[in-house]
Amino acid sequence: MIPTKHIFLVTIPTKNENLAMILAKRKDLTTTLPSSKRVRGSTNLNAHIFTPTFAVLTLPHPSLSNLETKPRHCNERNHFKCSQFLTHHVSAMHRVGSASNGNNSTRPRKEKRLTYVLNDSDDTKHCAGINCLALLTSVSSDGSDYLFTGSRDGTLKRWVLDVDRATCSATFESHVDWVNDAVLVGDSTLVSCSSDTNLKLWNALSFGTCTRTLRQHSDYVTCLAAAGKNSNIVASGGLGGEVFIWDIESAIAPVSKSNDATGDESSNGINGSGSLLPLTSLRTINSNDNMSMHATQTQGYIPISAKGHKDSVYALAMNESGTILVSGGTEKVVRVWDTRSGSKTLKLRGHTDNIRALLLDSSGRYCLSGSSDSMIRLWDIGQQRCVHSYAVHTDSVWALASTPTFSHVYSGGRDFSLYLTDLQTRESSLLCTGEHPILQLALHDDNIWVASTDSSVRRWHAEGCNPEKIFQRGNSFLAGNLSFSRARVSLEGSTPVPVYKEPTLTILGTPAIVQHEVLNNKRHVLTKDASGSVKLWEITKGVVIEDYGKVSFEDKKEELFEMVSIPAWFTVDTRLGSLSVHLDTPQCFHAEMYSADLNIVGKPEDDKVNLARETLKGLLAPWLRKRKQRSGSSAPANGEKDTASRSSTHSRIEVDGSSDNDAMVYPPFEFSVTSPPSIITEGTHGGPWRKKTTDLEGTKDDKDFPWWCLDCVLNNRLPPRENTKCSFYLQPCEGSSVQILTQGKLSAPRILRIHKVINYVIEKMVLDKPVDSLNAESSFSPGLAASQSQHQVVGDGSFRSGFQPWQKLKPSIEILCNDQVLSPEMSLATVRAYIWKKSDDLVLNYRLVQGR
């Protein structure tokens, strides 16, 4: 029997009255909407679009051919896709609303942010904890071995290993957040994953070349696993509960030009070059024991996607052939998967807390797991049971590494300790202890590399070829099989003695910044790093201007306090271990200073300097130079046309006339070229990216920048800003006989200094003798007379002409606020913030100082 009607749950943009009208006019469409809430501010009775943002549509059977149907749970996270009528109108409304922020939407569009990361003077060092290690051993006798390190500073580094030293030979910079894991596949392909939700492929032997970006995860990507012999297979897992299995060879294979022309890389599992992954490039594990594809097809492409774990995934491991995958996370169970079919084969239960580390032997029969319950477990996958439990650590186990024969395991974790355990005899020995939790291990011949939350990497003796030598030194103990047994031994004071006291080699890092404070002048930031060293940064130049050493951070902050008020035009965080300065429009353009206060030589002292604009010019100076060299000065480049047309759609774009439209960078805004900052931002296509300013190309990067940033540095245009004026009343002190020719409220720039208000009073003073030469309107801004406005304007040009000829004697004037004499160097904004402290208009009083 053919049904006559079909019911669909369709998501509709909130507050979209136009779409409601379209739906209401369809005679073949019955619309049922909740009636509990009406669109706020809507007077249209037909605009039944409500807070629950979804509508039930009943369609006659002939219209079913226009819909792409599949049973799904109807909730706000599972949207139903209509391929023709509904898709056209719903997506069109979304596009129009987000592109122009039209009258139907009251929510302002969130513009793209620009961030610059201030790098240490020694760029060969990491400046945050090391999350991952990967070793590339040379097959030739004279070749070098390489160690790859991935850090919470967002970069990877390649180290050339010698017997007594490690030299940084390349930095891989493209991720915009923590690098969480990295694996090597094939001969020279490095795969990394990050909290920016992306996987990146690199040429491991290059100078930091990123060859492809794979975007499929919806949350942090926490772990990777690679097959040994089948070098094309890589698995990735993350906080979104997803587990993907990638065929790297297919992922980097080019696709047809027709596909490439219509693909949308921002919405698919794709690479950074704009080409989509082939259908066979990605297999996904699903908790329902099957493999499924993405529910929607975009532009005709079908990326393979499916959910994996119900909760976050923290650890993955794969056997040599790449046929068996194990995964673990917050579900406290080890899941075993058949990678060839994408099906779940079994679950291994036993841990009582999160699983943080996994290992598989080459055959895929035995599995080792480390957990936050402080236990290490050995599993026999064939027998589907736990063979042994090892109570070695006193806290969470975060890292595991085994000998090639899978007879011994090295383990580290939150207790700062590295242990060696014989899996058969259960004998265990404490190799070393450190000062930081251990995050990952990499066995290298007779040594083991240890990564921790510290920015340094250390190499310790491990006797990897013959671990029994460690136990022959004594001080070993028998691992218990209950988690509390090891903790009890520790409490009883019988902690084992470490075999080694010092590492054989240390790759030093820069201590991460752990505390910061933006000073009131909004140009300096005080920081404290992990070693206790306190430094003062000038963020408009990206350099350390003072290193105070190991002093009290709070005392130094109080010492540097200034009673000044400047709008907050940037924000700072230290998530990457260094200072990341964030610029958001339009608030970043709110701060201005006089050129005299910035000590800019050759510029009129009363010229106002926009701090964000000049910082952007200094930041992008290398890019602007390359751009000028490549495009020439005869014709504007594409990016300039794009930004000009984009800015024309914004009615209140301001042209900054205070400075010429050139690329001149003033000294307070000159960034270092030897240790250049890195830019993190997102343009009109693709996803977020990160590059050093000196690595930016001259023309190709135009569309990779936010439009407002290009409009500022190329076209000298600033977005609409809040009122930069300060209104105030200027009145004589009580009992004062001094009067000035002014009435009503005055207005002046917030950065105006009190000494200019003093000059204004002097020029307008009425003395005992006639002053016919005094022009009351001389203090007004050009083109603004007293008859035109009740607010007189005290402008920057009010005092440039000096005193009038009649003023033989210059009286001494004091300006007061709340009966407190103001310093001539204070600005109006400072007086309002620290002296006036009220929301009402500022009231200033003046008086003549007797005897001066």
CATH number at residue 420: 2.40.10.480
Average pLDDT over residues 230-248: 86
Task: Say what the pLDDT of residue 784 is.
Answer: 30
Domain boundary residue among 463, 489, 509?
509
- Classify residue 412: in a domain, yes or no: yes
If asked whether residues 553 and 702 sit together in one domain, one would say yes
Q: H or E segment at 333?
A: strand 333-338
pLDDT tens digits, one per residue of 811-846: 788 999 999 999 999 999 999 999 999 988 899 998
295 burial type by CB count under 10 A (0-12 exposed, 13-18 middle, 19+ buried) = middle
CA distance 180 to 185: 17
Task: Say what the pLDDT of residue 93 is.
Answer: 32
If asked whether residues 523 and 493 sit together in one domain, one would say no
CB 115 within 8 A of CB 439: no
- Classify residue 384: in a domain, yes or no: no
- Classify residue 382: in a domain, yes or no: no
pLDDT tens digits, one per residue of 441-498: 999 989 999 999 999 999 999 988 888 888 888 888 888 887 666 655 655 556 788 9
611 burial type by CB count under 10 A (0-12 exposed, 13-18 middle, 19+ buried) = buried
If asked whether residues 674 and 739 sit together in one domain, one would say no
CB 831 within 8 A of CB 815: no
Average pLDDT over residues 103-122: 74
- pLDDT higher than 50, residue 776: no
If asked whether residues 635 and 692 sit together in one domain, one would say yes
Average pLDDT over residues 529-554: 95
The total number of structural domains in the chain stands at 4
Average pLDDT over residues 681-685: 80
Confidence band of 767 (pLDDT split at 50, 70, 90) = very low
Helix (H, G, I), strand (E, B) or coil at 683: coil
Helix (H, G, I), strand (E, B) or coil at 142: coil
- Classify residue 833: in a domain, yes or no: yes
Average pLDDT over residues 609-620: 94
Question: What is the pTM for the complete model shown?
Answer: 0.77
CB 630 within 8 A of CB 678: no
- pLDDT higher than 70, residue 691: yes
CB 752 within 8 A of CB 726: yes
Comparison of pLDDT for 723 and 825, the residue scoring more: 825
**Main-chain phi, psi angles of 138, to 5 degrees:** -80, 140
Confidence band of 810 (pLDDT split at 50, 70, 90) = low
Average pLDDT over residues 239-243: 86
If asked whether residues 543 and 431 sit together in one domain, one would say no
- pLDDT higher than 70, residue 12: no
Task: Say what the pLDDT of residue 230 is.
Answer: 63
If asked whether residues 503 and 564 sit together in one domain, one would say no
Beta-carbon contacts of residue 143 (< 8 Å; ≥ 6 apart): none
Mean pLDDT of the chain: 75
CB 329 within 8 A of CB 337: no
If asked whether residues 822 and 837 sit together in one domain, one would say yes
- Classify residue 208: in a domain, yes or no: no
- pLDDT higher than 50, residue 603: yes
- Classify residue 303: in a domain, yes or no: no
If asked whether residues 526 and 555 sit together in one domain, one would say yes
Comparison of pLDDT for 49 and 562, the residue scoring more: 562
CA distance 120 to 116: 13
Task: Say what the pLDDT of residue 103 is.
Answer: 40
Confidence band of 116 (pLDDT split at 50, 70, 90) = very high
If asked whether residues 487 and 405 sit together in one domain, one would say yes
**Main-chain phi, psi angles of 573, to 5 degrees:** -140, 165
CB 555 within 8 A of CB 562: no
- Classify residue 358: in a domain, yes or no: no
Give me the DSSP letters along 17-54: HHHHHHHHH-TT-EEE---S---TT---TT----TT-E
CATH code: domain of residue 753: 3.10.20.90
Share of the chain above pLDDT 70, in %: 68
Helix (H, G, I), strand (E, B) or coil at 485: helix
Confidence band of 604 (pLDDT split at 50, 70, 90) = confident
Confidence band of 633 (pLDDT split at 50, 70, 90) = low
Confidence band of 409 (pLDDT split at 50, 70, 90) = very high
- pLDDT higher than 70, residue 576: yes
- pLDDT higher than 90, residue 739: no
**Which amino acid does the sequence have at 124?**
T
pLDDT tens digits, one per residue of 143-194: 789 999 999 999 999 999 988 899 999 999 999 999 999 999 988 899 999 9
Domain boundary residue among 81, 100, 119?
100
If asked whether residues 466 and 557 sit together in one domain, one would say no
If asked whether residues 406 and 497 sit together in one domain, one would say yes
Domain boundary residue among 100, 119, 146?
100
If asked whether residues 593 and 707 sit together in one domain, one would say yes
Beta-carbon contacts of residue 680 (< 8 Å; ≥ 6 apart): 114, 115, 116, 117, 176, 580, 688, 689, 690
User: What does the H/E/C string look like for 52-68?
Assistant: CCEEEEEEEHHHHHHCC
Of the candidates 412, 350, 352, which has an alpha carbon nearest to the alpha carbon of residue 387? 350
- Strands 343-349, 333-338: parallel, antiparallel or unpaired by DSSP? antiparallel
Where in the sequence is the domain holding 403, given as residue range(s)?
A: 398-509
Of the candidates 386, 351, 380, 376, which has an alpha carbon nearest to the alpha carbon of residue 363? 380
The alpha carbon of residue 213 and the mean position of all alpha carbons in its chain are separated, in whole angstroms, by 17
Average pLDDT over residues 83-93: 35
Give me the DSSP letters along 489-548: HHHTT-PPPPS-SS-SEEE--PPPEEEEEE-TTSSEEEEEETT--EEEEETTTTEEEEEE
- pLDDT higher than 60, residue 726: yes
Average pLDDT over residues 269-297: 37
CA distance 287 to 310: 7
- Classify residue 456: in a domain, yes or no: yes
Task: Say what the pLDDT of residue 701 is.
Answer: 59
CA distance 154 to 127: 10
- pLDDT higher than 90, residue 690: yes
Task: Say what the pLDDT of residue 144 is.
Answer: 85
CB 72 within 8 A of CB 11: no
Q: Count Cβ atoms below 10 Å from residue 468 Cβ, excluding itself.
A: 12
- pLDDT higher than 50, residue 594: yes
